[in-house]
Chains A and B, each alone.
Chain A
Amino acid sequence: MGRLRRVGHVGPAGVEESNLVPLEPQSFDDFFRSEYRRVVGLAMVLCGRLAVAEELAQDAFVSAYRRWDRVRGYDDPAAWVRRVVVNLATSSLRRRAREARALARLARRRPAETLETEIDDEFWRAIRALPRRQAQCVALRYLEDRDVEEIASVLGIAAPTVRVHLHAARTTLAERIGAKLDEEAP
């Protein structure tokens, strides 16, 4: 058995399941289809709009496609795409252009197709209001249920740094939304 990589899918109950499977040459199309929604979700948590999130996610996948020979050999290509989308979501100039594209795309859609275009409740707004790195850490933690090591791997930062960000983020979040803080460490 060669290297292992983590694969997962969102089950019927919306709970992510993970398995370790032998590394097979994965087609880009399969990779795209299996990861698209979750990458969009991550972008949506960070930017708040579905249309923009889809633009960001698609650009991240296009980046992956251009380097697919290399990316598919990584231990975790999905983490690579997530890191790209996180960077894209925080690059103001790039995001402005994508917002323009997204808005134009929305303008061409019928209203019925633009439902659920924003996640604007207090909880996600509070996350987006956090300092950027903290927001990235908690987005990966809560939405993707990733542990500290995985978050560190996706963001390319040290695990202790992730812990610091998560601690600060959770403290701030608890204050802002009036929730009780869990006692256990993240």
Chain B
Amino acid sequence: MTLDERARSHAATLRGQLESIQVPEPRTVLRRARRRYRIGVVVGVVVLVAAIATPIAVIAGRDRSSTKIEAVHPHRGKLPPGGETNGSWASIAKDSAGLGNAQLDALTSDGATLLLAGRKPGAQDTTIWWSEDGALWTEADRSPSPARVTAIGAHSDTALAVSTPSGTASVWQSEDHGRHWDRIAHGDVFGKPRPNNRPAASVSGILWRDGWWIAYGGAANGYEAIWISRDGTEWRAALNSRSSGSIDGIVDTPDGSLMAYAVTGRLGTIDSAWITKDPTDWGHPVPLTTPNRYYLSSVTPDSAFGVGQNADRHGDATPLLLSADGGRKWVEDSTFGAIFPDAWIWTATKVANLYVLGGTTTSDTTQPGPPMAWISTDGKSWGAIPATFVKPTLPPTSIPQLPPTGALGLIAAVDQRIVMMGFAAELDRFYTFDVASETHETPSVTCSPKSVPSTGPSVRVSCSIQGYAVHTRVTVTGLGPAPLASVRTDDAGRASFGFVIPEFGVCAQLPGDVTVNASGGGANASATIAVTPVPLPSLDCGPASSR
């Protein structure tokens, strides 16, 4: 049988199968599509009612005036009403933070300010919020409008926001850390769509490298696309791709190159990545190797970790993938997978020198799992959001969400505070992690006196520890196997304790320096109390003895 004969036979069989499927009522299909939009409107009404009932004090706290914000939020470390802390972690209600029940689309940091793009309930236009501490957010005085921002990037005090969803692209710029936004480009900014038939270009991310703004996504012709611009007003294509799809991300590699990755193959296959040191010329795609037909859905900015997904196997956990060669060859990270077998990761990134993974612990797209984030200093040992913060309180959704409603996917840092947010309006909280209190203050023990004589009466030693995790039990050892003390650290990760070095006689002197070890919350530190030898008198102490 020839190829065409077989094709005709298979096609006839398939057409026969298609005859058996039920054609839905067109109105039913349209209603289902409309329902997705309506949910946003319903949420808007709920929020409006809640806002009317909210005490004036809370409303005042949302006022744009910076002085009032400071009154509610006097200094770093304090949280908006309803915020909870657990060690370096905090859980903050979006509403009291100034974000209402907004659906969130993009988050970035310019180093001094976090910029967040989202949509208020029922709104089509984007609102941009800025925050200098990640805990309390202020709405920009002038947000892009009309626009729905899909990508936001920042460099120094300049930020760009790109809106492409409705076919006509707009680029907005802020030169004051996100307080005011002005449109600087509009129209066929990212290429002219072909008449009537093609979806317009879509920009899914934007970043600054080597004097260029680099935007990426999918071109109007359906191919993967990267555009570059010096100032955001005029863009030109920098990628000559001839395969349909969309660039999913651009990250740095250890050798100083940039890597753009895309899922362009058939389902579950990666077949395109471009690596270049020149953002104006991306050359030809290079092959990537991944295990198990996973494709990369997110890659850390240093190309060390990626998230593997396989659309053929919805319901599976999404493994963490490792690369040791700048993102070309990937293997499954068995360490993370063994500790967190249910992890469903959506975003992998590196901020404030920490690896941060955001996601949830279920892949069921209608039964939201608890929001979850995992943090690591070295990519080997991982911590997670405290269990008290991750109760699965979200109700099931009638419309499946991808990522699942509970998943955290927006991650950025400012001033050593990492902010982790979810996209969904239904997720009413977000999370922060303060790096400074755990990793920048080195654990230490200080004791007084710093030296004692080798013989003499008992000595009381006073010690303090600092740089430990807050509210953490720390065990102190030193004189023998039994603990000297067990203390609990305070809000600042500090604690004090004391112990007594007993009397030592001339025939049973302290054998050597006393080392005080304090261990707890994964941190260790020690202090040494020097023992000053006391000259022995001419005395026969007999056989060696010990106390």
Chain A residues, CB < 8 A from B14: 41, 44-45, 119, 124, 143
Report if B543 contacts A (CB, 8 A). no
The reply to whether B365 and A100 form a contact with Cβ atoms under 8 Å apart is: yes
Report if B26 contacts A (CB, 8 A). yes
The reply to whether B23 and A90 form a contact with Cβ atoms under 8 Å apart is: no
Chain B residues, CB < 8 A from A110: none
Scan A8-21; emit 1 where CB is below 8 A from any B CB, else 0.
00100011100000
Q: How many residues of A contact B (CB 8 A)?
A: 68
Point out which of A54, A65, A100, A177 has the most chain B C-beta atoms below 10 A from its C-beta: A100
Expressed in whole angstroms, the Cα–Cα distance for A29 and B26 within the complex equals: 6
Report if A162 contacts B (CB, 8 A). no
Point out which of B23, B262, B315 has the most chain A C-beta atoms below 10 A from its C-beta: B23
Q: How many residues of B contact A (CB 8 A)?
A: 56
Report if B245 contacts A (CB, 8 A). yes
Expressed in whole angstroms, the Cα–Cα distance for A44 and B8 within the complex equals: 16
Point out which of B2, B3, B19, B198 has the most chain A C-beta atoms below 10 A from its C-beta: B3
Chain A residues, CB < 8 A from B19: 10, 14, 37
Closest A residue, CB atoms, query B314: A103
The reply to whether A100 and B197 form a contact with Cβ atoms under 8 Å apart is: no
Chain B residues, CB < 8 A from A158: none
Report if B199 contacts A (CB, 8 A). yes
CB distance from B136 to the nearest CB of A (A): 32
Expressed in whole angstroms, the Cα–Cα distance for A91 and B245 within the complex equals: 5
The reply to whether B23 and A181 form a contact with Cβ atoms under 8 Å apart is: no
The reply to whether B222 and A90 form a contact with Cβ atoms under 8 Å apart is: yes
Chain A residues, CB < 8 A from B248: 92-93
Expressed in whole angstroms, the Cα–Cα distance for A119 and B116 within the complex equals: 43
The reply to whether A100 and B196 form a contact with Cβ atoms under 8 Å apart is: no
List residues of A (64-93) whose CB comes within 8 Å of B's CBs. 65, 70, 74, 80, 83-84, 87, 90-93
**Contacts A103-B365, A180-B2 given: A87-B24 contact, CB under 8 Å?**
no
Expressed in whole angstroms, the Cα–Cα distance for A19 and B248 within the complex equals: 44
CB distance from A26 to the nearest CB of B (A): 12
Scan A130-162; emit 1 where CB is below 8 A from any B CB, else 0.
011101001001110100000000001000000
Report if B29 contacts A (CB, 8 A). yes
The reply to whether A100 and B245 form a contact with Cβ atoms under 8 Å apart is: no
Report if B45 contacts A (CB, 8 A). no
The reply to whether B11 and A173 form a contact with Cβ atoms under 8 Å apart is: no
Report if B33 contacts A (CB, 8 A). yes
Chain B residues, CB < 8 A from A181: 2-3
Binds A, one of B102-110, B327-335, B382-390, B399-407: B399-407
The reply to whether A174 and B15 form a contact with Cβ atoms under 8 Å apart is: no
List residues of B (265-279) whose CB comes within 8 Å of A's CBs. 265-267
Report if B243 contacts A (CB, 8 A). yes
The reply to whether B20 and A116 form a contact with Cβ atoms under 8 Å apart is: yes
Expressed in whole angstroms, the Cα–Cα distance for A131 and B264 within the complex equals: 10
Closest B residue, CB atoms, query A92: B263
Report if B255 contacts A (CB, 8 A). no
Expressed in whole angstroms, the Cα–Cα distance for A112 and B190 within the complex equals: 47
Expressed in whole angstroms, the Cα–Cα distance for A59 and B199 within the complex equals: 13
Scan A96-120; emit 1 where CB is below 8 A from any B CB, else 0.
1101110110010000000010010
CB distance from B499 to the nearest CB of A (A): 59
CB distance from B191 to the nearest CB of A (A): 14
Report if B173 contacts A (CB, 8 A). no
CB distance from A117 to the nearest CB of B (A): 10
Report if B218 contacts A (CB, 8 A). yes
Closest B residue, CB atoms, query A47: B267
Expressed in whole angstroms, the Cα–Cα distance for A116 and B222 within the complex equals: 30
Expressed in whole angstroms, the Cα–Cα distance for A143 and B4 within the complex equals: 11
Which of A37, A123, A133 contacts B23, CB < 8 Å? A37
Chain B residues, CB < 8 A from A182: 2-4
Chain A residues, CB < 8 A from B8: 142
Expressed in whole angstroms, the Cα–Cα distance for A121 and B2 within the complex equals: 17
Which of B21, B197, B314 contacts A40, CB < 8 Å? B21
Expressed in whole angstroms, the Cα–Cα distance for A119 and B17 within the complex equals: 10
Which of B3, B264, B315 contacts A173, CB < 8 Å? B3
Closest B residue, CB atoms, query A32: B26
Report if A56 contacts B (CB, 8 A). no
Chain A residues, CB < 8 A from B265: 132
Expressed in whole angstroms, the Cα–Cα distance for A53 and B77 within the complex equals: 51
The reply to whether B30 and A37 form a contact with Cβ atoms under 8 Å apart is: no
Report if B16 contacts A (CB, 8 A). yes
The reply to whether A91 and B2 form a contact with Cβ atoms under 8 Å apart is: no
Point out which of A32, A104, A107, A121 has the most chain B C-beta atoms below 10 A from its C-beta: A104
Report if B366 contacts A (CB, 8 A). yes
The reply to whether A37 and B314 form a contact with Cβ atoms under 8 Å apart is: no
Expressed in whole angstroms, the Cα–Cα distance for A30 and B504 within the complex equals: 102
10 other contacts beyond A37-B18, A124-B10, A182-B2, with CB at 8 A cut-off? A29-B26, A37-B21, A61-B26, A62-B29, A65-B26, A83-B198, A87-B198, A93-B263, A99-B314, A180-B3
Between A and B, 25 residue pairs with Cβ closer than 8 Å are A32-B23, A38-B18, A48-B267, A54-B21, A74-B196, A83-B198, A90-B244, A91-B222, A91-B245, A93-B248, A95-B311, A96-B311, A100-B401, A100-B402, A103-B314, A116-B17, A121-B10, A124-B10, A129-B266, A133-B244, A142-B8, A170-B3, A177-B3, A179-B1, A181-B3
Closest 8 CB pairs of A and B: A104-B400, A100-B402, A14-B15, A92-B263, A32-B26, A179-B3, A142-B7, A100-B365
